[in-house]
Chain A
Amino acid sequence: MTGTPLLSLAIWIPIVAGLIVLATGSDRNASSARMIALAGAILGFLITIPLYTGFDTHTSAMQFVEKTRWSESFNIYYHLGVDGMSVLFLLLNSFITIIVVLAGWKVVTEKIAQYNAAFLIMSGLMNGIFSALDGMLFYVFFEASLIPLYLIIGVWGGPRRVYAALKFFIYTLAGSLLFLVSLVYLYSQGGTFEIAQWHLLPLPLSAQTWIFFAFLAAFAVKVPMWPVHTWLPDAHVEAPTGGSIVLAAIALKLGAYGFLRFSLPIAPDAVHAWSGLIIALSLIAVVYIGFVALVQTDMKKLVAYSSISHMGFVTLGFFMLNAIGLEGAIVQMISHGFVSGAMFFCIGVMYDRVHSRDISDYGGVVNTMPKFAAFFMLFSMANAGLPATSGFVGEFMVILGAVKFNFWVAFAAALTLILGAAYTLWMYKRVIFGAVANKHVADLTDISAREFLILALLAAAVLFMGLYPLPFTEVMHSSVDNLLQHVATSKLP
């Protein structure tokens, strides 16, 4: 496989497939559009597998590196590579793309080619984000990926889609502009856009602080961290099922990944100075949002808030700056991709049949959809962090890291054990258990073969990662260790 530009393929196969799908044009060619999209998604996933199997776990250096000059005058390179912290996200993203294409198979009936194309192109762009080693290239992918998601919410979304899409777009764009300013500043200081060079660039504390907060503005919105999270529930509620899956599974990871790739290694002294702030914000996200999730009446909003709470564990894990917390945070990101994707899909399955997301419109779904109820139970338990599901592993590691860091931080974080179970299972009880509540529920039909396949794929991922997380963490040890050593070293000139 050496010499094959795997990363470029991982980026461009979905994008090219997306363009081909787009070329099929109108809805008369719907079936071919779907088939091409599925083929592109599967091919895109297959191409990422050698990234894992061929990955050398003993080094923290970038692997599968590709480097070509892009812009002479500004010293910008088309520079790709992955390390232990990013490689898994390419696999996750490409896997989720298959799920998304399948999830929209029967449900999306308008502008089918455009819909699938948007997802495929976005998938390629997101692979680009996770493999870009040039700051400007990263920025281009980072911003470009907003557009398809904006369109997905704005075109295929619910009744308030325009408000939600705009809120999403402005929120994320505002942060991004500060990010761009920082990139230009770093370029002016280092004379290069190469991220690895910036890692070594000595910077005074004041500059680091500015950069840290500029990065924070960009990434905190994407994660999203409290208090810049309010766009997410709106975006989820209006997004179509596929949009919600990608938003939760992948888009939220971009911000967190940014912390890993930019904030921590570029401004380590500022990170040490301000980590307390981030930890406090993370704990607020875990606890405050946990309570907010408890009282939601709209299932999608509930799961959206639960996402914010779970992402609080990610930022918490990062900024305690210990290995078990950091690896736990990355594991949590991967796991959250599967679990939240599955939760949103489950809600989509019910929404397609009843056309309501209100908990009060349901009750007793298990009577008419027993197979679905079993899957939904598994994912709800994973969402509540039950051992043997992927949801447990990350939370467990972060809590262990937190006890090491400070007992009371762990105390607050561990409240999620109670809150997460409370909001997830209370929703499950009201929706699934009980006698058949109304005519809509009585008329429900259990999941189709297609839906079964999607749920089974996600269930397999959730269980495998819960029962045997070793392969997921094995790849990241060297890179995480390297990052921590890097953060521990002062960069003051």
Chain B
Amino acid sequence: MKGLYLLIPLAPLIGALVAGLFCRVIPRWVAHTVTIAGVALAFILSCVVFKDVLAGNTFNGPVYQWLAVTTSAGDYRFEVGFLIDSLTATMMLVVTFVSLMVHIYTIGYMSEDPGYNRFFSYISLFTFSMLMLVMSNNFVQLFFGWEAVGLVSYLLIGFWYTRPSATFANLKAFLVNRVGDFGFLLGIGLVLAYFGSLDYAAVFIKAPELAKMQIPLFSGVSLMSAICILLFIGAMGKSAQVPLHVWLPDSMEGPTPISALIHAATMVTAGIFMVARMSPLFELSTTALSFVIVIGAITALFMGLLGIIQNDIKRVVAYSTLSQLGYMTVALGASAYSVAIFHLMTHAFFKALLFLAAGSVIIALHHDQDIRNMGGLRKYMPITWITSLIGSLALIGTPFFSGFYSKDMIIEAVAASNIPGSGFAYFAVLIGVFITAFYSFRMYFLVFHGKERFGAAHGHHDDHGGEHHGLAPGQKPHESPLVVTLPLVALAIPSLIIGFLTVEPMIGAHFGKAILVNPAHPAMAEVHEKFHGAAAMALHGLMSAPFWLAAFGVFLAWFFYLKRPEIPAALKKHFAGLYNLLDNKYYFDRFNETVLAGGARLLGKGLWRGGDVAVLDGIVVDGSARLVGWISRLVRRLQTGYLYTYAFTMIIGVFALLSLWLKRLG
């Protein structure tokens, strides 16, 4: 079985190496065949593993020893190894399935791109890295996967490297993530310092005895709180939680397939997965859980608001992703880890679908991404239309759709949570339902219904580089090829039914021992108690507040953007202050660029010019050189070469010596 586990990440890695190292010599079909074969193999084997895990077989063991520090005082061993349980197996399925769909889709989407082979290499490398992350049984390998997915994300955001906006975005993404990793690494350091091991199993066993331990960092902060908050700061970077969310909207500079795979379905959920994996630690710190739930609620509510005013189709979906990640984080904070993973899974399907559908629209409109230039596309792109509708309905939580089950569970869990901050979080996720429905259907109506606005805006350039073209007047869009629509359909099916099918095991026994919940946090137990089957839940959902909030959101979107389009324009004028706040994304970017990045450059210049050049080199080094020069000039004066000077000096010397001697005697 271990060989099989090993093959799952290695298959995509081999594909990535072949496509990457020989990207200049192999034809395109070799690149996509070898990478797709690798990912398909990983997917099939993940299914095998999943079935095996369902049968009750779990695995926890090393592959090889990476590093060791052995001393007479004690040993540290760091191993590369796998932990295969229900949580891992679920993640593996999601990752490999979405990745496979995105690989197939890419054949169509990137068909005209000169970097075709390189692109396949990157996305396969990503699949490898993500699998290493979720399959890890220790913190080191987790961190490896964590940084490796970050690297691939960096490479892919900057895939079109000649665009200044793309290379700005990828640097920003990497650095913001590094801020998160800074906390993450310190958290790992604390784990090693106090637990003496970085193996999950060893750490989790020892956790309860250290639960009450205080450390002298900040007064009143327990060891567990410090560890969990530091680890969560890592998750805030990767899963784009406020205030480390700023990189995700910009990451849309990358090609659309990776927005679906990396920046919606999988990589950004790594933080959610990590916290769920660390549930035995987080459950021991109410402070940390409270921190988590508040950050999640802020992200869910305020990022959703930004989605309302975006006009770039990918950015609307990106802000929606941020908001949904906030929902998952809220679930984590409410100790409803399994619900968070459940939402992670349903979201992976419907959000990948929405992104790929957006990509399909973008190709049809020749890379125009502005929804103001769309409209009426349902006639021309029926498959994209229907699948988008399914994705949107799933996203807003329509009963019986997959998103309904996971989102409703989150709302219920938050309602039942007793963590400080859960009251605010409940308010945020409830309002968030309305906002989600509003921005989703605003986009849906503007893209697929109403007047056809494309064709007129030829030559339109938005502010993100000159790569957006659009259709020429009279040109009509047409449906994308099969390699594009097939993944849409394949993702639409789980978006529709996966929630209904899996809600019962997901909140019930599926995760078993993989997730640990402290009995003092009753949210999950109450959710479970109220659950009477998937159908009953959906029927009950039709009468609950979230459903009516969502319905109202859809209605308002229809009224504003199809029926009376002058209303939003009037509102925009009337509430200019609020609009500016949202349009500038609460000024996070401006703050970061001027205060943090600008401050760092200023500090660097000051230290360099002031410290190194002026003081150290100018005063100390050259100063001491000048001092030596001055002394030597002084001494040189004595060696004039004139006899009388020497004679005079000698006489003075003799006189001085004599007087000293006489003084001694006297």
Chain A contacts to B: CB under 8 angstroms: 167, 227, 230, 288, 291-296, 323-324, 327, 364, 366-367, 370, 377, 381, 386-388, 392-393, 396-397, 399-400, 402-404, 407, 410-411, 414-415, 417-418, 421-422, 425-426, 429, 432-435, 467-470, 473-474, 477, 480-481, 484-485
Nearest 8 A-B pairs (CB), nearest first?
A403-B189, A295-B604, A291-B604, A387-B144, A433-B167, A294-B604, A323-B71, A292-B608
B118 to chain A, nearest CB (A): 9
Interface membership of B66, Cβ < 8 A: yes
B148 with A388: CB separation less than 8 A: yes
Residues of A within 8 A of B651 (CB): none
Given contacts A386-B147, A414-B189, 16 further A-B contacts (CB under 8 A): A291-B608, A292-B608, A294-B600, A324-B76, A381-B151, A386-B151, A388-B144, A388-B148, A399-B186, A403-B192, A407-B190, A407-B215, A421-B178, A433-B161, A474-B68, A477-B70
* Assembled-state Cα–Cα distance A230/B622 (Å): 11
* B residues 26-77 in Cβ contact with A at 8 Å: 64-73, 76
Q: Are A415 and B182 in contact (CB under 8 A)?
A: yes
Q: How far is the CA of A405 from the CA of B179 in the complex (A)?
A: 22
Bound together, the chains give a CA A324 to CA B77 distance in angstroms of 11
Q: Can you identify 23 A-B contacts, CB atoms within 8 angstroms?
A: A291-B608, A292-B608, A294-B601, A295-B604, A295-B608, A327-B69, A386-B147, A386-B151, A388-B144, A388-B147, A396-B140, A397-B67, A403-B186, A404-B193, A411-B186, A414-B186, A417-B182, A421-B174, A425-B174, A426-B171, A429-B167, A433-B158, A473-B69
List the B residue with the shortest CB-CB distance to A395.
B185
Query: Mask for B285-310, Cβ within 8 A of A = 1, else 0?
Result: 00000000000000000000000000
Decide yes or no whether B657 CB sits under 8 A from chain A.
no
Q: Which residue of A lies closest to B608 (CB)?
A: A292
If A387-B144, A404-B192, A434-B161 touch, does A421 touch B175 (CB 8 Å cutoff)?
A: yes
Given A399-B189, A480-B71: A230 and B161 interface contact (C-beta under 8 Å)? no
Looking across the interface, which residue of chain B has its beta carbon closest to that of A327?
A: B69
Q: What residue of chain A has the Cβ atom nearest to residue B617's Cβ?
A: A230
Q: Is the CB of B148 within 8 A of A410?
A: no
* CB pair B182 A425 closer than 8 Å: no
Interface residues of B in 150-204 (CB under 8 A from A): 151, 155, 158, 161-162, 164, 167-168, 171, 174-175, 178-179, 181-182, 185-186, 188-190, 192-193
B147 contacts A387, C-beta separation under 8 Å: yes
Chain A residue numbers with a CB within 8 Å of B611 are: 288, 292
Give the CA-CA distance A470 to B70 in the complex, in Å.
Answer: 11
Q: Which residues of B contact A407 (CB under 8 A)?
A: 186, 190, 215, 217
The answer to whether the Cβ of B605 comes within 8 Å of any Cβ in the partner chain is yes
Chain A CB within 10 A, most for which of B68, B604, B612: B604
Q: Tell me if B380 counts as interface (CB < 8 A to partner A).
A: no
Bound Cα distance from A417 to B234, whole angstroms = 12
Complex CA distance for A295 and B148, rounded to whole angstroms: 27
Provide the bound-state CA to CA distance between A473 and B162, in Å.
Answer: 42
**B603's closest neighbor in chain A, by CB?**
A291
The minimal Cβ–Cβ distance linking B121 to chain A, given in whole angstroms, is 11
Q: Quick one: which of B610-636 are within 8 Å of A by CB?
A: 611-612, 616-617, 620-621
**Nearest CB of B to A456, in Å:** 11
Residues of A within 8 A of B617 (CB): 230
> Which residues does chain A contribute within 8 Å of B147, judged by CB atoms?
386-388, 392
- A400 contact set on B, CB distance < 8 A: 188-189, 192-193
Q: Hey, which chain B residues are within 8 Å of A415, CB to CB?
A: 182
CA gap between A388 and B67 in the complex, in Å: 12
B175: chain A residues within 8 A (beta carbon): 418, 421-422, 425
